[in-house]
Amino acid sequence: MSESSPLRILLVDDTPEAESYVDRWLRADIPTVDVRRVPGQTELSEALAANRYDVVITEAHLSWTDGLDILRAVKARQPEHPVLMLTGQGDEDLAVEALQAGFDAYLRKGTHQGGRLAAAVNASLETARERNARQRAEQALIESEARHRAILATAPDTILTIDEQGRIESVNPAVQRMFGYEPAEVLGRDVTVLMPLATAGEDPGDAEIESSGDADIHWLTGVTAGRRKDGSTFPLDLAISEVRLAGRRLFTGIIRDITDHRRAEAERIILLERERAAVTEWRRG
């Protein structure tokens, strides 16, 4: 429903005059209301299939069904639409039953209920909007997390999260290919199981040492050495970023195996040296 379009009310009621007085009650506070009464199952099925309404108002007891069945029928097709019970046959027990079943409001018929009915309709629409917005946000989060997991699962680099004490909190499957560990084998262990830290007393090589601040740990960024499960070492490039999540300080590390890069660089240097030697020899000749 847009701001310029009428509020479409689907009224499920046996009483022919119900449409006129519900329209009158609501129109006093909602000038653009459009009330349409459905008196039977066939008309209700057609209306639900067409989905040309914003709010359903139903009696508690009808000649051919009851309000709880109406509620279930609406929610089965359009769970986002509010459903209110407006009845002249109810009592306190029915009110409790209706609200527990999922009705957005319960009201008794009567001219004094006109303002309350309009307020209940507006409140139910606002609740529905908030609920739909929350569901969209939750769905977007689920999709975002799914994409994130897919990226982590297929990334060639090892990506891990470390807490301030240097313990590994999460790691992607690439750790198995790069280090020989299954992810579960390194969770909760100190990050030194995978790579040397300055606090471990190892030579950091070309890496730059960055303090994490008040935490008793120093991270290495740049080129350093990794340690596989079998104890062998290899050169890696490490990038660390700091994040704060729910008041906690965490570090995300992206680790790239640069063994092939180093090998290619060494071969390039050897070729250059050979070329220089060949040029020198040629000049001498």
Domain CATH code at residue 253 = 3.30.450.20
Co-location of 170 and 250 in the same domain: yes
Co-location of 170 and 73 in the same domain: no
* Rounded (10°) angle between helices 114-154 and 18-27: 80
Co-location of 250 and 192 in the same domain: yes
pLDDT of 220 reads: 57
pLDDT, one tens digit per residue, over 68-108 is 999 999 999 999 999 999 998 778 898 999 999 999 999 99
Within a domain: 198: yes
- What confidence category does residue 285 fall into, taking pLDDT thresholds of 50, 70 and 90? low
pLDDT, one tens digit per residue, over 159-170 is 999 988 889 999
User: Which domain covers residue 70, as residue numbers?
Assistant: 7-145
Within a domain: 30: yes
Average pLDDT over residues 125-151: 88
pLDDT of 202 reads: 45
Dig out the tokens for 66 from the structure.
């009851």
pLDDT, one tens digit per residue, over 182-197 is 999 999 999 989 987 5
Task: Identify which has the larger pLDDT, 278 or 99.
Answer: 99
- What confidence category does residue 145 fall into, taking pLDDT thresholds of 50, 70 and 90? confident
Co-location of 138 and 172 in the same domain: no
The count of C-alpha atoms lying within 13 angstroms of the C-alpha of 198, restricted to the half-sphere facing its C-beta, is 13
Domain end: 115, 145, 175, which one?
Answer: 145
pLDDT of 168 reads: 92
Helix/strand/coil percent split, the chain, to 5 = 45, 25, 30
CB atoms within 10 A of CB 2: 5
Co-location of 172 and 128 in the same domain: no
Contact call for residues 152 and 183 (beta carbons, < 8 A): no
Task: Identify which has the larger pLDDT, 42 or 212.
Answer: 42
Co-location of 190 and 136 in the same domain: no
pLDDT of 201 reads: 41
pLDDT reading at 242 higher than 50: yes
> What average pLDDT does the structure give for the chain?
85
The pairing of strands 55-58 and 248-257 is unpaired
pLDDT, one tens digit per residue, over 13-40 is 999 999 999 999 999 899 999 999 999 9
Co-location of 183 and 136 in the same domain: no
Share of the chain above pLDDT 70, in %: 89
Which SS3 state, helix, strand or coil, does residue 88 take? coil
DSSP run (H or E) holding 63: none
For residues 42 and 186, what is the distance between their CA atoms, to the nearest angstrom?
A: 63
- What confidence category does residue 225 fall into, taking pLDDT thresholds of 50, 70 and 90? confident
Co-location of 14 and 96 in the same domain: yes
Within a domain: 216: yes
- What confidence category does residue 46 fall into, taking pLDDT thresholds of 50, 70 and 90? very high
Domain count within the chain? 2
Domain end: 145, 170, 203, which one?
Answer: 145
Task: Identify which has the larger pLDDT, 111 or 227.
Answer: 227
What are the phi and psi torsion angles at 247 (to 5°)? 80, 0
pLDDT reading at 273 higher than 90: no
Domain end: 145, 172, 187, which one?
Answer: 145
Contact call for residues 210 and 240 (beta carbons, < 8 A): yes
Average pLDDT over residues 111-134: 89
pLDDT of 215 reads: 45
Within a domain: 226: yes
pLDDT reading at 223 higher than 50: yes
Within a domain: 36: yes
Dig out the tokens for 198 from the structure.
């300055």
pLDDT of 118 reads: 93
Co-location of 219 and 250 in the same domain: yes
Within a domain: 282: no
Q: Please tell me the least confidently modeled range out of 63-67, 161-165, 228-232.
A: 161-165
Co-location of 42 and 133 in the same domain: yes
pLDDT of 2 reads: 53
pLDDT reading at 127 higher than 90: yes
Within a domain: 1: no
Co-location of 134 and 200 in the same domain: no
Co-location of 13 and 140 in the same domain: yes
Chain Cα centroid distance, residue 8: 32
For residues 37 and 22, what is the distance between their CA atoms, to the nearest angstrom?
A: 10
User: What's 52's domain CATH number?
Assistant: 3.40.50.2300
Within a domain: 77: yes
